[in-house]
Structures are given as structure tokens and as C-alpha cells.
């Protein structure tokens, strides 16, 4: 039963995935200025990953700041000594 349900899951998701893809292709960015073929897939792909990369870099910077605070507070008593 479980196996059946597990294998049927991707099938159920396929339609929304296809719809998302179709929607994204309607959002082909205007590249009227490009004299080389930028590749429609490459244009959409970079939009998708650039957003994700921006989030990742923000998290990374935030994490470094937090870690930096801890490092500072740990270093301060040493410096006092």
C-alpha cells in the first residue's frame, strides 16, 4: 500500500509541475537586445537560480554575522585577561 502510494506521488505532482513550467515559459524575459541567442531556457533558469542564490548568500551573511558576534564575545574575556 505504502509502496503504491509512494510511487503514485510523483504522478500526482506531474500536472502542477508541467503547469509551472508552462507558466514560466510564458514569462520569457524580453531579450530583444541580444544579438546572440541567449537560449530561452537559460534566461528562465538564471532567473530561478539567481533568486535562490541571493537567498543563500543572505543566509550565509546573516550566519557569519551571528557567528562573528559569538566569536567576539568569546574573545573579549581573553582580551580582558
Partner 1 sequence: MSERPGMGGSLDPGSFRDPSGFVFRRHETIYRQVNASYAEEYEHLVSSGLYEELAQAGLLIPHEEVDTPPPRPDSAYRVIRPEMIPFVSYPYEWCFGQLRDAALAHLEVQRRALAHGMTLKDCSAYNIQFRDGKPVLIDTLSFERYREGEPWVAYRQFCQHFLAPLALMSHTDVRLGRLLRVHVDGIPLDLASRLLPLRTRCSIPLLLHIHLHASYAKRASRSHRGGKRAARLSRRSLENLVRSLRTGIGRLRWRPRDSYWAGYYSELHDYRTETAEHKAGLVAEFLDHVRPSRVWDFGANTGRYGRIAADRGIPTVSFDFDPACVETIYEAVRNEGATNVLPLVMDLANPSPGIGWAGAERSSLRDRGPTDMLLALALLHHLAISNNVPIPAIIDFFSELCRFLVVEFVPKNDAQVRELLAGRRDVFADYTQAAFESSLGRTFRIERVERLRGSDRILYLAEKR
Contact footprint for partner 1 (CB under 8 A): 21-22, 24-31, 33-36, 38-51, 53-54, 57
CB of 73 to partner 1, least distance (A): 30
CB of 32 to partner 1, least distance (A): 8
Coil, strand or helix: which one is 27? coil
Smaller CB separation from partner 1, 1 or 27: 27
| Per-residue DSSP letter, 30 | P
Smaller CB separation from partner 1, 31 or 67: 31
Cα separation, 81 vs 75, in Å, equals 10
Cβ–Cβ < 8 Å for 43, 29: yes
Amino acid at each position: 500500500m505504502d509502496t503504491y502510494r509512494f510511487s503514485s506521488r510523483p504522478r500526482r505532482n506531474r500536472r502542477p509541475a508541467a503547469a509551472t513550467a508552462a507558466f514560466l515559459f510564458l514569462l520569457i524575459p524580453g531579450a530583444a537586445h541580444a544579438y546572440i541567442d541567449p537560449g530561452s531556457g537559460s534566461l528562465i533558469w538564471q532567473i530561478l537560480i539567481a533568486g535562490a542564490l541571493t537567498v543563500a548568500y543572505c543566509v550565509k551573511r546573516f550566519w557569519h554575522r551571528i557567528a562573528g558576534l559569538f566569536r567576539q564575545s568569546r574573545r573579549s574575556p581573553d582580551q580582558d585577561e
